[in-house]
Amino acid sequence: MRKSENSVRRSENSVRKCKNSVRRSENSVRKCKNSVRRSEKSVRKGENSVRRSENSVRKCKNSVRKSEKSVRKSKNSVRRSEKSVRKGENSVRRSENSVRKCKNSVRKSKKSVRQCKSSVRKSKKSVRESEKSVKESETSVRKSEKAVRRSEKLVRESEKSV
């Protein structure tokens, strides 16, 4: 009689252990799914950041083109001013003023070009970092999915043993 009671207790303990194991596996599956969701959210953020950085790069390139066009216009204006200098002293004064204005404009344009190039470099760096973040997030997603599969396998094995 005692042996059968012990056997019943052992069976009940075994059932409890299996149920606990199933609960732990289910908790692990939930955690992994949550981790996958977070990783996917991180991937989306990274992709959005990449898009913003690419837009910023495009804007800076457009700004560089405009600045270069402005530099060309200013250089043409300088040439016209120099031609006017040859016509007379009064004209020389007006042309020199115009030349100074144009040189200031050229300096501002060059400064703007430098700033845009610097911004392009920063944006490219940001794009690289965002792409790295996307790759890391994708790796994390793969690991999480692998963990989910393992946990689901454990759940199935635990359910079979029950």
- Rounded Cα gap, residues 104 and 84, in angstroms: 19
**Distances, alpha carbon 69 to alpha carbons 36, 39, 61, 121, 148, in Å:** 49, 45, 12, 21, 57
Q: What pLDDT, on a 0 to 100 scale, did the predictor assign at position 160?
A: 83
The residue among 21, 44, 15 whose CA lies nearest residue 141 is 44
Rg (CA), the chain: 35
Q: What pLDDT, on a 0 to 100 scale, did the predictor assign at position 162?
A: 66
**What's the predicted TM-score (pTM) here?**
0.36
Token couple for 133: 């973040």
- 96-135 confidence digits (pLDDT tens): 888 899 899 989 989 988 998 988 899 889 889 888 988 9
Token couple for 5: 């009671």
The residue among 98, 54, 57, 46 whose CA lies nearest residue 77 is 98
Question: Which DSSP symbol is given to 118?
Answer: H
